[in-house]
Amino acid sequence: MSHSFYKKYHLAINRFIDNALTEDIEMGDHSGQACFDNQLEKSTILKVKEDCIIAGIDLAEKIFKRFDHLIKLTRNFEDGESLTKGTVAYTVEGPAKSLLSSERLVLNCMQRMSGIASFTHQLNQKIKHTNCKILDTRKTTPGFRYPEKWAVSIGGGYNHRMGLFDAIMIKDNHVDFCGGMQNTLLKIKDYLERSQLKIDVVVEVRNQIEIEAVMEFPWVKRILLDNMEPGQIQEKVSWINNSFETEASGNINENNLIQYAETGVDFLSIGALTHSAKNIDLSLKAL
């Protein structure tokens, strides 16, 4: 799964790496230039300092190689594996100057990604007795969206959409600004036909009237039931009766997750996956 994510989004991820390296290094790492000559070779290990689902090994290798092709990463584990405190995830060797210049970016990414993957895995385990799938949202760190969503997929979750460009999602403000659900969806239909676009359309609804309006447009991919209690979700899902995919969102957390998943809804979208996961403590240590 980790490799397929990179394959799909490699242009954006490479752009992220370049921007992040520029942000941290700019015209050069003066500390490294002062301490090391170009010929000095060293090795380091990535040590896990708390139990976690490891994430970001693939990205770490891309960062090291993009910064200096002489750096070699030898992995002991793959993204998505469950590691315990004290485990060495990989060894990396190469020019000392290059290792230390790229070290912080690698750690920042892997600590954040491992936290997100671990939290996503934890929530998935709670609802594994259901067919419900967990989705992320656009509540991501600006500039760091791709690694964060990559981590969700490593943890067993699913990406809702990458941004505003790869799906249409109609929310309450769209409906209110357009003067109602039917008028909004007629505009969407016209736009898709004129643009010759074939992308998913997800529509957020607030009540039964809006659900009935959406169901007049069978090309809609999914009905999103927003800010409803589990009992209401179960009632609406039963009424929709598999005519459309269904999703629940709004105030869903690890305490009420099971209740929502057991309603029969197909998806739960949870912003906390990317905005509230705790970083995992990792370190790169010299051998």
139 is catalytic: yes
Q: Which one of 50, 226, 229, 266 is the catalytic residue?
A: 226
Strands 133-135 and 72-75: unpaired
Q: Indicate which residue of 139, 187, 189, 221 is catalytic.
A: 139
Neighbours of 281 (CB within 10 A): 15
Indicate if 226 belongs to the active site: yes
Q: How would you label 182-198 residue by residue, b for 16+ Cβ within 10 Å and e otherwise? A: eebbeebeeeeeeeeee
Q: How far apart are CA 232 and CA 26, in angstroms?
A: 53
Q: DSSP label at 253?
A: -
C-alpha–C-alpha distance, residues 75 and 54, integer Å: 12
User: Is 210 designated active site?
Assistant: no
Question: Of residues 65, 104, 206, 278, which has the active-site annotation?
Answer: 104
Q: How many whole angstroms separate alpha carbon 238 and alpha carbon 283? A: 49
**What's the burial of 89, exposed, middle or buried (CB within 10 Å: 0-12/13-18/19+)?**
buried
> Annotated catalytic, 85?
no
Query: Out of 204, 210, 236, 247, which one is annotated catalytic?
Result: 204
**Could you say which of 8, 85, 171, 285 is catalytic?**
171
148 is catalytic: no
Residues known to be catalytic? 104, 139, 171, 204, 226
